[in-house]
Amino acid sequence: MDTTDTTEFIRVCALSDLPVGTAVRAEIDDTPIALVHTDTEEVFAIYDECSHAAVALSEGEVEGCTLECWLHGSRFDLRTGEPTGLPATIPVQVYPVEIRDGDVYLSTVPHNGPAAAGDK
C-alpha cells in the first residue's frame, strides 16, 4: 500500500502579513479562503462564505478557535468548520495549513469534504 502524501501546498503569504487575532481573505484558484491567525499563534484556513447567509466570514470576529459571521452571528470552529452557534447548521470547508520559514502554505484539498451549500 502506498502511503505517500500527494497533497500539494502553495505559498499564500508571509506569516507577518496576517495580524494576530484577525481573518484575512485570500482567493486561491478562484476559491475564497479566510486565513485566520489566532491569539495562540495558530493559523487556520476556512472557506470564506457563511453557510447560512453567503457572506464573507473573513469580515467577522475571531475569538479563540472560532470565527463569527458579522451578519447574523453564526460561529464556526476553525479546526473543523462545524457551526458552533446558530443560525448556521451546515459546516464550511477547512483547509490544511503549514508554516514554513515564516510563510503560510495552504492545501486546496479540504479536510472535510466538498463545499457546503447555503442553508437559508
Q: Given this model, what pLDDT does residue 118 score? A: 39
25, 48 in Cβ contact below 8 A?
Answer: yes
pLDDT in tens, the chain (120 residues): 444 455 689 999 999 999 999 999 999 989 999 999 999 999 999 999 999 999 999 999 999 999 999 999 999 999 999 999 999 999 999 999 999 999 999 998 888 755 444 333
For residue 76, the tally of other CB atoms under 10 A from its CB is: 28
What cell was used for 23?
A: 481573518
Question: Which pLDDT belongs to residue 7?
Answer: 67
Looking at residue 113, its pLDDT comes to 57
Q: State residue 46's pLDDT score.
A: 97
pLDDT at 3: 41
pTM: 0.86
Instruction: Please state, in angstroms and rounded to a whole number, the distance separating the CA atoms of residues 79 and 95.
Output: 9
Cα separation of 107 and 56, whole Å? Answer: 20
**Which of these, 88, 86, 40, lies nearest to 63 by C-alpha position?**
40
